[in-house]
Chain A
Amino acid sequence: MDVEILDHYYYTKEHEWVYVEDSMATIGLSEYAQSALGDVTFIELPEVGVEVEQFEEFASIESVKAASDIYSPMSGRIVEVNSELEDDPGRINKDCYEKGWIVKLELSDLDEMSELMKADEYRNFLSGVK
């Protein structure tokens, strides 16, 4: 399977992506994750204002095939959620890196990025997963 991986994003072993701009992070699911899940039918988003720890579960997602949890790639406070996903969770399948973003986080510790994979590392990681 040839999946799209964006170079300027960071990735986790659970297949979340994070895009960091200053101290603000946008978080979503990678192409690999959305493809493995299949058609997404439901997402339970966290409340704005909630504090999350790195690699802590903060949302849950269901597809026609499976249900799973989503983990935060970094620690911080949730400042925005993509509420469009509540009525149209299929956005995650159609456009996982842009319109399918899940939450925005105000980061509390930028050093945590060292715990994440860069695009190349994620590519290697995926070739081991398959």
Chain B
Amino acid sequence: MLSEEILKKTPLYDNHIKLQAKMVPFGGWEMPVQYEGILAEYDATRNRVSIFDTSHMGEFMVKGDVSKSGLDKIVTQPLADMPVKTCRYGAMLNDDGGVVDDLIVYRLDDEEWMVVVNGATMSKDEAQFEKHITEQGVFVNHSGHLGKIDIQGPGSRELLSSIVDGIEKLEYYTFNIFNVLGENVVVSRTGYTGELGYEIYYPQEKISALWERLLEKGAAPAGLGVRDLLRIEMGYSLYGHELSEDINPLDAGISRFIDWEKEFVGKAALQEARDAGVSRKIISFVSGSRRSPRSGYQIFSSGADPVGVVTSATFSPVLKCGIGLGFVPKEGYKAGEKILFGTKEKQWAAEVHARPIYKNSSLKS
């Protein structure tokens, strides 16, 4: 673990301290894991509205023709057909076909792009861009200037529209430039909770005032603890758990974010892996009790030999039992099938569950 002295602080650090958040190291950053409590923050996000500081994430700006700039080659998804002011989820791979990071591409204009990457992987992501962006493209890491607040929950539209004109019309996975407290900034209808929500990219030196205004309007502050719980209920992958350089992305189920028609870094290696056959898949599963699985526990079918591994785990407030994500063999393991999780010595009953575990999502409402 990094020592505290070199942990980076987001521009909202003082706001978190003021709220008496519990701060933890996360990917090189000192981040709030919880404020009032994870279950209270869960309730706020699923039923009302909450805000998350996601300023640790990176924003890479690229100018230039999508293919001549080299950007198209970096991302596994097609980009050329993206309409302006839309977002697209994808990944970037290394030469061996491993996932360097997952990301969201924003098409700001015909030849202007923003790529949003994870905070913990930012330096290797930056190296990837520096390596592959050509002389015909301009790449700037803008992360040092932009902070980000995610406002999430079924009440997020109503709350945000009380301070931002025109937000009601914004559709899922699109964005626009809005006047937010006097700043013209990117607001996208995206998030990581499975609820209706928005991400606001905001100048770092002014973001504290925006945070305070959203709190005044009734949003509950929410930390990384509940963020993890919300995304596990939705079955969303987290880099470092379900995705990494050592996990075949086809096993991780991101095939639908890969465009085999275009050229991209890592394609040759990935093709080889595809031809060799996909061996694993990710499942959601529910524990037979309130006991939660743990990341790193093994998954068993019925025999004594493990068939897979737990990659993420938590307690689901909606089901009132432990839940997890994990890798199992590709064949079988359909919803309802009994499995076990644990160690060689001790195992507990569980059941494969349809993804997502959480059914009442307001995501596309």
Contacts and interface: CB of A to CB of B under 8 A. Distances in A.
B39 A67 contact: no
Contacts of B294: 67
A38 B290 contact: no
A41 B34 contact: no
Interface string A54-92: 000000001011010000000000000000001001100
B229 A64 contact: yes
A42 B290 contact: yes
A23 to B, nearest CB: 33
B291 A65 contact: no
A89 B37 CA distance: 15
Contacts of A51: none
B99 interface: no
B289 to A, nearest CB: 7
A39 B314 CA distance: 12
Contact of A65 (B38, B290, B322): B38
Given A41-B290, A89-B290, A62 B38 contact: no
B225 interface: yes
A44 B291 contact: yes
Contacts of B322: 41-42, 62
Contacts of A42: 289-292, 315, 322
B37 A38 contact: yes
B49 interface: no
Nearest to A86: B290
B290 A64 contact: no
B340 interface: no
Contacts of A39: 37-39
B315 A64 contact: yes
Contacts of B37: 38-39, 93
Interface string B79-108: 000000000000000000000000000000
Interface of B: 33-34, 37-39, 225-226, 229, 289-292, 294, 314-315, 322
Given A41-B315, A42-B322, A62-B290, 11 more contacts: A39-B39, A42-B315, A62-B291, A62-B315, A62-B322, A64-B38, A64-B226, A64-B229, A65-B33, A65-B38, A86-B290
